[in-house]
Chain A
Amino acid sequence: MRLIWWAGTVLAISLISIILSHQHALDPIENLSLTATAPVEESLRNLASPVNDIIDGITDRGGLARENEQLRAENEALRVQLAEQQNLEQLLVEAEQALEVKQSRPEDLLLAANVIAQDPSGFKRQIAINRGLSDNVDEGMAVLSENGSLIGTVSRAYQDFAWVRLVTDPDSVVNAQVNLTTIQPLEGTQPQVLIPETPASPTPAPSPNVLEDPSPTPAPPEPSFVRGVAEGDLRSGIVLDLPSGATVEQGDLVVTSGLGGNYRRALLIGTIKSVDNQLQSPFTRTTLEPATDLGVLDTVLVLISFRPARLEGP
């Protein structure tokens, strides 16, 4: 009987607490708790990180060597691309100067933050950072890695701390696009002109069933990207559903599309790891490899200059 009373009491207190917490009424307590425990947690993380690296190095030596070789090759290819990119950028700057066009997007304002904790729950993928409302960090803001790729969104902001929902969290939804490296028109999409086989009379009457265009307009250029929605997934990390028949391949870059206004355009999310192109499926399902290792984040950057649409209001 006492056990039932105890269970009922804890149940009631817990439910009240959950409701209050969900409505942000207990944020000061949670902020105070993080303030007290953050230094210890950060120290423990800093101690554990190198140990983890050593253990990983010992247990996966062959894998690391292979990865190193692969990364060297990728690095070389990227350097070549960078050189071309710099050349194009220079041309763009010159063109802007010549046309007196003002740059549409101001420089990004990024706020560095340290990762102090990682949620151990299997249902979520979240990290805590030591920046909060007092540093102009707000819920919904995009969070980037040190190298500038998208790692997540601020899901909950306290006075001095914030929780960041990673792009691999099942709640994470990002409008994305795949930048295609080459433009390949799909087979059978070329416009066809049907010509009648027996044009016997010198002045043939136009047939309503025949589509003949003596001066066909040029086909619109194929877009150099495919858009979709990148969602977090407990099993695969990030899943990106694209329109059926999309000609994407392993290694293609995936960036934010900017649609919806919740993320700045062209933030790197990752690369395509696998493509599942089933004939019956209305979508081409791809899985992504995040651009940065989300398990070993130490420092992140909060994009505070870009106000997401969800924060701007109507």
Chain B
Amino acid sequence: MALLLALSLAMFSVSVMPYVKVLGVTPDLVLIFAACWAVIRGQNEAWLVVPAAGFLRDLATSDPLGTSALALIPIVILAAAVRMRALESDFLPTIAVVGAGSIAYGLISMAVLGATGQHIEVGQALFRVILASAVVNSLFTPVLYLPIKWLSPPPGPAVLGSRRISSTL
């Protein structure tokens, strides 16, 4: 199901989303999906779903195949770090992962594209693309967070993290 959803979002990203421009950038649905899935569903699923979503995204875009899989690695690491803390809701951590993950994703993509011959003006790319993407992706997080949360089973105490202390009293 996750891969089908990722494929649909990758196709949606290159067909419909280019019409949606906020702050001059297009929200990256695949990135938001990967971050939401990693935070809500946990590491074991994220290890397979996130790189697969990256490869599916690259198949739909003009990026060299593997760029997104590489650039999405920090999202899994950030999600793992976030899940180590027990919190009442994982909505705010998801937004934080999307924002920070967008910056990491942008920097890695920029490095890969630069290495493969694409002309990149670092100053413009940082402010007009990477920071703008972090803000816009964070704003669009609820669009995917809510359906994924709804589809996911409620987490048990063990899933919430090792720091939670449960008592039988």
A residues lining the B interface (CB < 8 Å): 3, 6-7, 10-11, 13-18, 20-22, 26, 29-30, 33-34, 37, 40-42, 44-45, 47-49, 51-52, 116-124, 126, 128, 155-156, 163, 170-171, 233-235, 295
- Give the Cβ gap from B16 to chain A, nearest Cβ, in Å: 4
Contact B70 A119 (CB under 8 A): no
Cα-based distance from A151 to B168 in the complex (angstroms) = 69
Contact A48 B66 (CB under 8 A): no
Contact A123 B113 (CB under 8 A): yes
B28: nearest residue on chain A (CB-CB)? A120
- Give the Cβ gap from A186 to chain B, nearest Cβ, in Å: 32
A25: nearest residue on chain B (CB-CB)? B65
Label chain B's interface by main secondary structure. helix
From A10, A22, A126, contact of B69 by CB (8 A) = A10
B13: nearest residue on chain A (CB-CB)? A120
Cα-based distance from A17 to B17 in the complex (angstroms) = 26
Contact B121 A120 (CB under 8 A): no
Asked whether A234 and B129 contact (CB < 8 A) given A7-B73, A123-B110, the answer is yes
Q: Mark B51-67, 1 if CB is under 8 A from A, else 0.
A: 10011001111111111
Q: Which of B18-26, B86-94, B142-150 contacts A (4 or more CB under 8 A)?
A: B18-26
Contact A13 B133 (CB under 8 A): no
B57: nearest residue on chain A (CB-CB)? A120
Cα-based distance from A30 to B14 in the complex (angstroms) = 15
From B69, B106, B119, contact of A14 by CB (8 A) = B69
Contact A234 B62 (CB under 8 A): no
Contact B15 A45 (CB under 8 A): yes
- Give the Cβ gap from A4 to chain B, nearest Cβ, in Å: 9
Cα-based distance from A133 to B7 in the complex (angstroms) = 26
Cα-based distance from A6 to B51 in the complex (angstroms) = 10
Contact A26 B18 (CB under 8 A): no
Closest 6 CB pairs of A and B: A17-B66, A122-B129, A14-B70, A44-B15, A117-B14, A118-B18
B19: which A residues are within 8 A, CB to CB?
48-49, 51-52, 295
B133: which A residues are within 8 A, CB to CB?
122
A231: nearest residue on chain B (CB-CB)? B119
From A7, A18, A126, contact of B62 by CB (8 A) = A126
Contact B26 A120 (CB under 8 A): yes
Cα-based distance from A93 to B116 in the complex (angstroms) = 49
- Give the Cβ gap from B112 to chain A, nearest Cβ, in Å: 6
Cα-based distance from A118 to B20 in the complex (angstroms) = 12
